[in-house]
Amino acid sequence: NNQFYRQYKLIVLGDGGVGKSALTIQFLRSHFVDDYDPTIEDSYVKHSVVDGEKAVLEILDTAGQEQYLQVHFYYFYYLFLILDGQGSFSEVDHIIQQILRVKDVTSFPMVLVGNKCDLEYNREVGRDEGRKLGQTFNCPAIETSAKERINVDEAFHALVRQVRIFNKEQ
Ligand code: GDP
Ligand code: MG
């Protein structure tokens, strides 16, 4: 019976090489791929239970950013944003500000993810960057490792939780 499943459309954004595909595949299939074709863009469906409630996650793993800079796109997707330790995902701030303005809301469901926390150098830079952005946009910032399967489910589930809170407030 479908009425008990709620669907969540998530888009995974971030610069090339930050681990969008590795994290998505780790979440879906519980294994680490370290040579995923960087040009492949695909969407996947996963049935999960988050806080005891069923959820169908439709996850779009992107490759290449340009088409996602269109604000109208985000009417249909919630954002799963992956930063790397270099602070190079500079469009994030810009995209979020635009979404908030166009939708005329003060917050929007998203989760900031600092991936590759198994690498020490990434952890130090990424932690700081993620925390600051998370505070600015009032959203969770989570450190993950697709390689070691650290906080992978937690990160995706955090976004489902954010969507639920958002929907209750509307
Ligand atoms: P995408 O371009 O954002 O989809 O990045 P990929 O998922 O293809 O990953 C890019 C590279 O980073 C690959 O060589 C992965 O093996 C590596 N990688 C991804 N996630 C992790 C991680 O959590 N830890 C480490 N050490 N390497 C990772
Ligand atoms: Mg990829």
C-alpha distances (whole Å) from 118 to each of 34, 39, 96, 108, 115 are 14, 25, 28, 29, 8
The verdict on the CB of residue 116 being under 6 Å from ligand 1 is: yes
Helix (H, G, I), strand (E, B) or coil at 47: strand
DSSP assigned state of 40: -
pLDDT of the residue at 95: 73
The verdict on the CB of residue 16 being under 6 Å from ligand 1 is: yes
Name residue, tokens 């979440």: 27
Mean pLDDT (whole number) for 58-74: 76
Mean pLDDT (whole number) for 72-99: 72
Q: Which residue has the higher pLDDT, 4 or 55?
A: 55
Pocket test for ligand 1, best of 34, 37, 62, 119 (most atoms within 8 A of CB): 34
Mean pLDDT (whole number) for 15-39: 94
Report the separation in Å between the CA atom of 145 and the middle of ligand 1, taken as the mean of its atom positions: 9
Report the separation in Å between the CA atom of 125 and the middle of ligand 2, taken as the mean of its atom positions: 22
pLDDT at residue 1 is higher than 50: no
Helix (H, G, I), strand (E, B) or coil at 3: helix
Q: How many CB atoms lie within 10 A of CB 99?
A: 20
The tens digit of pLDDT for each residue in 89-109 reads 566 777 778 888 887 888 889
